[in-house]
Amino acid sequence: MESSFLLRARPFAGIHSSFPLPSRPRLPFITPSALKSPRGFGTAKTLKQQKQKEEKKKLSDDEGEDEEDEEGDVAIPEVVTNRMMRRMGLSVGIPLTVGLLFFPFFYYLKVVAKVDVPNWVPFIFSFAFFGTALLGVSYGIVSASWDPLREGSLLGWNEARRNWPVFWESLWGRRNK
């Protein structure tokens, strides 16, 4: 009986929409400047400048010089990148894992062992370990040896002292440009 009622029921049968249905799909707003110049996204002047840049790049590629190298952007060797990734994995993974394992530990203490642990204690522990994991990203980068031929120390204290000024200089230098 109930199933036949559910099949016959039309819950929105008496409700009519007060909004009329659009007769055609609405188009996005087209600016008047787009109607004046339908050839592309830029004016003829910017297109010419873009073509000149492409030609200069082709000429510099033929000479073996790359514009990125002239600006100081040099690719990081794969050996150094892998070294940074290993260190980041450890310096992020260990505190993150410890921070996540504290939740079941505090649950066990509170529910199973019936220890009265204040609610703010797990939050402080998780905040501390998750913050350490966040700092581990930067430390993983600067504690790795940036020299492809040198492995570096176990904890990377010497490399970190050497690389922190370069790291901050690159951050502040890009922001000022």
pLDDT tens digits, residue range 17-73? Answer: 555 555 655 656 666 665 565 555 555 556 667 777 777 777 766 555 444 444 556
- Rounded to 5°, the CA angle 155-156-160 comes to 140
Q: How confident is the model over 87-107, as pLDDT tens digits? A: 999 999 999 999 999 999 999
Distance between CA 141 and CA 9 in Å, rounded?
Answer: 63
Cβ-contact 162, 169 below 8 angstroms:
no
Yes or no: say if 80 and 148 are a contact pair by the CB < 8 Å rule.
yes
Amino acid occupying residue 172? W
Neighbours of 162 (CB within 10 A): 15
